[in-house]
Amino acid sequence: MYYQLLAIIVSIWSNVSVQDESATTWMGFERTDFLLKERACILVAPKKAAKGRPWIWRTEFFGHEPQGDSMLLVKGYHVAYIDVQNMYGAPKAIQLMDTLYQYLVNEKHLHHKPVLEGFSRGGLFAMNWAATYPDRTGCLYLDAPVCDFKGWPGNQGKGPGSAEDWERLKSAYGFTSDSAALAYTFNPVDNLKPLAAFHIPILSVCGTADEVVPMDEHSLLLQKRYKAMGGYMEIISKEGVGHHPHSLKDPQPIIDFILRHSIH
């Protein structure tokens, strides 16, 4: 109910002016940087847009391990990003993300169901967007994703957590105490029904030796619960690999998943 109410609130769209546009290139493709509601945004355009004007939305760490994004640009996908760092997928981050979504769909005429790409803590943004707007999500590509903030940064699991990030997260969500944060019931692992209802496919790429975001507390738990609801989720395991490096040296399996499960 919480996220459904949030969706109603943030879906009220008013035109937001784009400021400080500048054009450069990124990996040989046209890149536009701009501000929306004082948030830095990036849009990278393919040489020729694929049918339906598909796009992938990098929710954190733009440019890190970019091989998948660059391959999708070759395939005709746009790549988009809005800076919502240190907001950990909180409702106000989802509201800011909606500003970019509305601009790209209404003004740039990109497809209404992007691919959400969540690296590490970016998984919180990707999953929470999908739970809020399952009708606006094509598929999810997650990479060593945080799926439960109680484990990271909250230090309630096997991983080390992060005290600094935990304090910032509580502030972003408006939690006044640790107990309030730990009682929260809308972490991705706990909020899968909206995704299952819309049959949103999920891919997670993980290292089996990840000690920061352990697979069994995040991706494997997510997969177990999602499959129990009838959802479809694949995991690509990287044997002996830790939290880094993200992605795959050859991202073709990731690209194949996205091409199968999104508009193209």
Q: Is residue 15 part of a domain?
A: no
Report whether 243 contacts 209 (CB < 8 A). no
Report whether 189 contacts 220 (CB < 8 A). no
Gap between the terminal Cα atoms of the chain: 32
Q: Is residue 211 part of a domain?
A: yes
Q: What backbone phi and psi angles, to 5 degrees, belong to 18?
A: -85, 135
Dist. CA 60–CA 58, nearest whole Å: 6
CA Rg, the chain, in Å? 17
DSSP 36: E
Write out the residue range of the structural domain in which residue 217 sits. Answer: 2-10+20-261
Q: Check whether 263 has a pLDDT greater than 90.
A: no
Q: Is residue 73 part of a domain?
A: yes
Q: Is residue 172 part of a domain?
A: yes
Beta bridge partners of 205: 143, 236
252-262 in b/e form (b: 16+ CB < 10 A) is eebbebbbebb
Q: Is residue 43 part of a domain?
A: yes
Q: Is residue 93 part of a domain?
A: yes
Beta bridge partners of 29: 26
Q: Is residue 72 part of a domain?
A: yes
Could you tell me the CATH number of the domain that includes residue 78? 3.40.50.1820
Mean pLDDT, residues 105-129 taken together:
98
* pLDDT tens sequence across 215-256: 999 999 999 999 999 999 999 999 999 999 999 999 999 999
Looking at the structure of the chain, the number of domains it has is: 1
More confident residue, 180 or 5: 180
Question: In this predicted structure, what is the pLDDT of residue 2?
Answer: 47
pLDDT class of 16 with cuts at 50, 70, 90: low
